[in-house]
Amino acid sequence: QINEAEVVAFSVPSYACQRRIALDHHNTVLADALSLLAENAELSDEDGRGVAFRRAAAVLKALPRQVTSMAQLKGLPCLGGHSLRVIKDVLDNGASDEVESTKRSERYKALKVLTGIFGVGAKTAARWISEGIHTLQQLQASGHTLNRAQQAGLEHYDDLNQPVTKAEADAIGEIVEKAVVSVLPGAQVTLTGGFRRGKLAGHDVDFLITHPEEGREEGLMPKVVSWLVKQGFLLYQKTTRNSYLESKDDPQSAVRVDLVVSPVSQFAFALLGWTGSKLFERELRRWAGYEKAMSLSSHALYDNNQGRYLRAASEEEIFAHLGLEYIPPSERNA
Ligand code: TTP
Ligand code: MN
Ligand code: MN
Ligand code: MN
């Protein structure tokens, strides 16, 4: 009876987009363990398994207190057998054998090193590993021909694997702002991605560009890119996003930047779609499809029942269309 009285099970809604998840939460050790297994699955090109671990981690991040016993997890969504075994291992032993052996494994380490090259995904890394290539030195010695993105990625490997700080993000924001207003006065630049969610470091800096007059943003990206090239800021660029900016601080360093241009009529959808987190976005689309028969993208929201697009001028309006409580960016850290 005492035990029953002591155990108060938590309750969490099914979809991550229904939860408020701040950067700081009460279950870092457990969430980190599950996130590492998610990362390993994603690096192994097993996205389904990756999402399952990400969803489990996002449930733990939403809990109001630290988990101390398995009984507290009764009835929680998204916790499959595998995730529960990992959690139990951490609660019982302080660490999970599977997580620790994954971290130490040659394969995981090689996948991390090789996918750390910009332009190298899980499939390419796996192919190289099957040829015995585990390090950058072995890759260079192998004589493999790298595409332009990968060559640039290898050349700036250390810079691009160094986390970007908020201060660097702000400095780059000023450069982008200058470029954008130089080629199109009145255009607006918004910081998106992890920094908009309040993160203090990121793997890149994400910007969304628009102009308050519909249509004025047309053809803007190539103009912004050539301005940046002329000023000597751009090291490498690929179509509409994934550019590298060289920030002109001392010493110079390369930073990954995602630039996206959106017509103002789509701005709210682009803002919501590029703010993340990736799991939050995935869950929003899953909620829209399964619960509301709607299709959400970073361009629009389509209502299948009404057979029409739903307009929105703000993120708040999109949440309202979806029948969801508004979650501010700082609480989208699923
Ligand atoms: P990322 O820059 O990959 O992630 P992040 O900013 O959350 O984290 P980090 O600090 O490591 O950079 O992606 C930002 C958001 O953009 C994320 O929600 C996914 C979203 N996004 C894409 O990455 N690609 C796309 O094509 C679209 C539409 C959105
Ligand atoms: Mn980012
Ligand atoms: Mn990005
Ligand atoms: Mn698109």
Three-class SS state of 259: strand
Q: Which of 32, 47, 89, 206 is catalytic?
A: 206
Q: Is 204 a catalytic residue?
A: yes
User: Widest CA span of the chain, in angstroms?
Assistant: 74
Question: Looking at the whole model, is its pTM more than 0.80?
Answer: yes
Residues 260 and 190: their CA atoms lie apart, in Å, by 10
Q: Compute the C-alpha angle 242/207/125, nearest 5°.
A: 25
Pairing assessment for the beta strands 301-303 and 308-309 based on DSSP bridges: antiparallel
Residues 334 and 326: their CA atoms lie apart, in Å, by 15
Ligand 1 proximity of 274 Cβ (cutoff 6 Å) = yes
Enter the tokens of residue 309: 């697009």
Q: Compute the C-alpha angle 298/120/34, nearest 5°.
A: 70
Q: Which atom belonging to ligand 1 lies closest to the Cα atom of 276?
A: 18
Q: Is 258 a catalytic residue?
A: yes
Pairing assessment for the beta strands 294-296 and 253-261 based on DSSP bridges: unpaired
CB contact at 8 A, 6 and 69: no
Ligand 1 proximity of 206 Cβ (cutoff 6 Å) = yes
Q: Which atom belonging to ligand 1 lies closest to the Cα atom of 202?
A: 10
Neighbours of 136 (CB within 10 A): 14
What's the gap in Å between 203 CA and the centre of ligand 1?
Answer: 10
How far lies 137's CA from each of 28, 221, 323, in Å? 35, 36, 53
Q: In sequence order, which residues have a C-beta less than 8 Å from that of residue 269 and are 6 or more positions away?
A: 262, 296, 297, 298, 299, 300, 301, 312, 318
Ligand 1 proximity of 329 Cβ (cutoff 6 Å) = no
Nearest ligand, measured from the Cα of 259: 3
Ligand 1 proximity of 217 Cβ (cutoff 6 Å) = no
The residue whose CA is least distant from atom 20 of ligand 1 is 274
pLDDT at residue 67, rounded to an integer? 97
Beta strands of the chain (E only): which ranges? Answer: 164-165, 188-191, 201-202, 205-210, 234-238, 241-247, 253-261, 294-296, 301-303, 308-309
Q: Residue 263, preceding bond cis, omega within 30 degrees?
A: no
Q: Which of 45, 204, 250, 303 is catalytic?
A: 204
How far lies 257's CA from each of 41, 168, 206, 242, in Å? 26, 11, 6, 6
CB contact at 8 A, 283 and 16: yes
Residues 302 and 282: their CA atoms lie apart, in Å, by 16
Q: Which of 45, 89, 258, 303 is catalytic?
A: 258
What's the gap in Å between 291 CA and the centre of ligand 4?
Answer: 23
Q: Partners of 243 in the beta sheet? A: 257
Residues 264 and 215: their CA atoms lie apart, in Å, by 8
Question: What number is the ipTM of this complex?
Answer: 0.95
Amino acid identity for residue 154 in this structure:
L
Ligand 1 proximity of 165 Cβ (cutoff 6 Å) = no
What's the gap in Å between 212 CA and the centre of ligand 1?
Answer: 24
Q: Which atom belonging to ligand 1 lies closest to the Cα atom of 197?
A: 7
Residue matched to tokens 């302080």: 94
What's the gap in Å between 142 CA and the centre of ligand 1?
Answer: 32
Ligand 1 proximity of 202 Cβ (cutoff 6 Å) = yes
What's the gap in Å between 78 CA and the centre of ligand 2?
Answer: 26
Residues 38 and 51: their CA atoms lie apart, in Å, by 7
What's the gap in Å between 130 CA and the centre of ligand 2?
Answer: 30
Please list the rounded mean pLDDT of every run of 10 residues in the chain (334 residues): 62 97 98 98 98 98 97 97 98 98 98 97 98 98 95 94 96 96 98 98 97 97 93 79 58 87 98 98 98 98 98 99 98 98
Q: Whose CA is closest to 206, among 186, 224, 189, 219?
A: 189
